[in-house]
Amino acid sequence: MQDEQLEILDFLRRYSPFTELPEETLHRVATAVDVRYFKAGSRIIEFGEEALDWYVVRSGAVEIFRRNGTLYNRLTEGGHFGEFGLLNRKRVRFPAAALEDSLLYLIPEAVFTELFENNEQFADLVEVEDRTRLRQVVSRREDANQLMSATVDTLVGREPVMLGREATTGDAARRMTEEAVSSLLIVDQLEAPPAAPRMAGIITDRDIRIRLVSQGLDYDTPVAEIMSSSLVTVEHNQLVFEAMLQMLRNNVHHLPVLKNHRPIGVIALSDIIQYESRNSLFVVSSIFRQQSVDDLAALTGDVHACFSRMVTEDASSRMIGSAMAVIGRSFKQRLLELAEETLGPPPVPYCFLALGSMARQEQLIVTDQDNALVLDNSFDPARHDDYFKALAAFVSDGLARCGYSYCTGGVMATNAKWRQPLRQWERYFSEWIEQPTPESLLNSGIFFDIDGVWGETEWIDGLRRLISRKAKGNSRFLACLARNALLRTPPLGFFKDFVVESDGRHSRAINLKRRGTAPLADLVRVHALAVGSLARNSFERLNDIIEADVLPRGRGQDLLDAMEFVSMVRIRNQANDLAAGIEPDNSIEPDSLSEFERKSLRDAFLILSNAQKYLKFRYQPGRSG
């Protein structure tokens, strides 16, 4: 061994994770090292380039950055970086630059991979440092995605431009031109001080084109006649991601931003696009422009492309699930509009429901349709049910055409049992909670994730409050629901190895929905009902659960990480199937994963297993009777 290699060997012996390697292995590593010098201020690796080496700092100082340019870490002698890119798609995830003149040891990818896969203590030290492996990988995904970390106020570039409601549309057009803006906030004549204007509506350049010019109206028309008075707003400290969802959900292109109930600006679709390049906003807009079921069905490819782009761009599972749920809602809404155009106006008011993953905003590509109808209490089956039966069939058949398969369990509005007046739904929920049976507990797992899609959506807010009020503190019901939540367990054997099974085209597979995301959602639902949470999304429910302090310290964050990681493995598997031209499903063979992914997935399943043990301890389902 040459003198330089002996010096490298002596250095490696002094620093973790090399301290855990056998002497023979250390010698092989030392002979493979390439030594490089980087001047202060020079770039070492760039985001997205091919990851070829693992880096160890011999001397000097190196700064590691997130993809948005913010500082992530600063390393000195003995520090290492580049492992995340080597373990994930062999692409650099965190750029690095020399803060000082630095000497680096470069260990080739093949040598690093061999060390990682054959030396468990080395792998653990590389991954864990002072945090768990799962927390590390999930937090890195979060840090790398600005959509999940940037707040709305970062998009506000100027104070909102306002106009009194007595102004004309000609005044509005001139003001928008002078100020170079695409929207104006319309305010009432103020008795309050100007610092606290009362918003009456918003007018956009699109409103002027569609509601004024195309209709041949005069420019003296008051702005109040063409403005949108049902304002959708966003708080200044909400995430850009949440603003995107507001736009998706309401199909709007401008959002007034509020701080302390006062408008501080307006953000537009173009502001969001710099963060959201997956085109989910455009897919939703396309849905509402279609004029037939055939037209809607033709958008399936766009939905799949949107899903795949979000995965490629490292969107989180919550972002993807929420965006896909809003796309699904939009299909339902447009189908209901087309149904009413065909069948005529409804004889009594109604609300069309989304259930399950769509209601939780956790929908993916592989999904069926769970839906129902809440009808006005004046509903008379003899006079009205033919209409609503036809409406339900139109929507359900249309959804099937658009890629949302029929529910094999019959949980659809086409089933008369799930097409009932509001008072019957109140009776259903009360009976399910007060007199739980095996069948009603199954229904609870489906219908307690409920959201209004179209019509009298305020009814559903009332139903959620009823569920929360009756379930909270009902120990017998919670014990029964907990017992049901324990029926699906993670796929871990006695020695914590994966338990695989034959599943469809997979010979040794794990169904990540049945054995992963579904039992996670089930146990989160039990805790959420116990603390009176009104949230629908599992991540939001977990935040309420953590705030209520019903879990052992740190377990809530563990569950958040486990849910995110299992969901992302499931999501990436579906995206890979789409890319390969294969019908996507929920099953994955562990052997197809990298060693890093297998270890992280095992960590996630262990967290789920421990969480189920705690659920059993807390609610004592064995005593539920």
Domains along the chain with CATH numbers: 3-130 (2.60.120.10), 152-274 (3.10.580.10), 296-470 (3.30.460.10), 472-623 (1.20.120)
Q: What is the pLDDT of residue 276?
A: 54
- C-alpha–C-alpha distance, residues 255 and 266, integer Å: 5
Q: CA nearest 404: which of 350, 432, 351, 368? A: 368
Rounded Cα distance, 447 and 466, in Å: 13
Q: What is the mean pLDDT of residues 311-327?
A: 86
Per-residue pLDDT band at 215 (split at 50, 70, 90): confident
Statement: residue 624 has pLDDT above 60: no
CA-based diameter of the chain, in Å? Answer: 95
More confident residue, 144 or 172: 172
Give the start-end residues of each E strand in 314-458: 350-355, 371-375, 419-421, 450-455
Mean pLDDT of 397-413: 93
For the stretch 416-469, pLDDT in tens is: 999 999 999 999 999 999 999 988 898 888 899 999 999 999 999 999 999 999
d(CA 570, CA 517): 9
Identify the pLDDT of residue 130: 34
CA distance 526 to 71: 40
Cis peptide before 17 (omega within 30 of 0): yes
Structure tokens at 598: 């297998």
pLDDT of residue 274: 58
| pLDDT at residue 157 in the model | 80
So what's the pLDDT on residue 40?
93
pLDDT at 149 over 60: no
**How high is the pLDDT of residue 507?**
73
Residue type, 474: N
- pLDDT exceeds 70 at position 277: no
pLDDT at 131 over 50: no
Distance CA 35, CA 13 (A): 17
Asked whether the beta carbons of 68 and 108 are under 8 A apart, the reply is no
Considering only residues 289 and 338, tell me which one the structure prediction assigns the higher pLDDT: 338
Query: Is the model's pLDDT at 213 over the cut of 90?
Result: no
Percentage of residues in the chain having pLDDT higher than 70:
92
Higher pLDDT, 313 or 36: 36
Most confidently modeled range among 47-56, 185-194, 612-621: 47-56
Task: Specify the higher pLDDT residue, 15 or 346.
Answer: 346
pLDDT bracket for residue 496 (50, 70, 90): low
Cα–chain-centroid distance for residue 130? 27
Segment 249-264 mean pLDDT: 86
Strands 96-98 and 102-108: unpaired
Give the mean pLDDT of 314-326. Answer: 87
pTM, 2 dp: 0.68
Residue 581 has pLDDT above 70, yes or no: yes
pLDDT for residue 279: 59
- Contact between residue 376 and residue 455 where contact means Cβ atoms under 8 Å apart: no
Query: Which residues are paired to 45 by β-bridges?
Result: 96
Mean pLDDT of all residues in 522-547: 94
pLDDT value for 364: 92
Nearest alpha-carbon partner for 491 in 575, 563, 573, 590 = 590
pLDDT of residue 146: 54
pLDDT reported for residue 141: 55
CB 156 within 8 A of CB 267: yes
Q: What is the pLDDT of residues 357-382, one digit of tens each?
A: 999 999 998 888 999 999 999 999 99
Does the structure show a pLDDT above 50 at 542?
yes
- In this prediction, residues 599-607 reach a mean pLDDT of 87
For residues 594 and 138, give the distance between their C-alpha atoms in angstroms, rounded to a whole number.
Answer: 16
Distances (CA, A) of 282 to 146, 222, 438: 20, 31, 43
Q: What value does the mean pLDDT of the chain take?
A: 87
SS3 assignment, position 193: coil
Does the pLDDT of residue 125 top 80, yes or no? no
Over 50: is that where the pLDDT of 95 sits?
A: yes
Q: What is the pLDDT of residue 427?
A: 96
Whether 481 shows a pLDDT value over 70: the answer reads yes
Which is more confident, 271 or 614? 614
Q: What is the pLDDT of residue 420?
A: 97
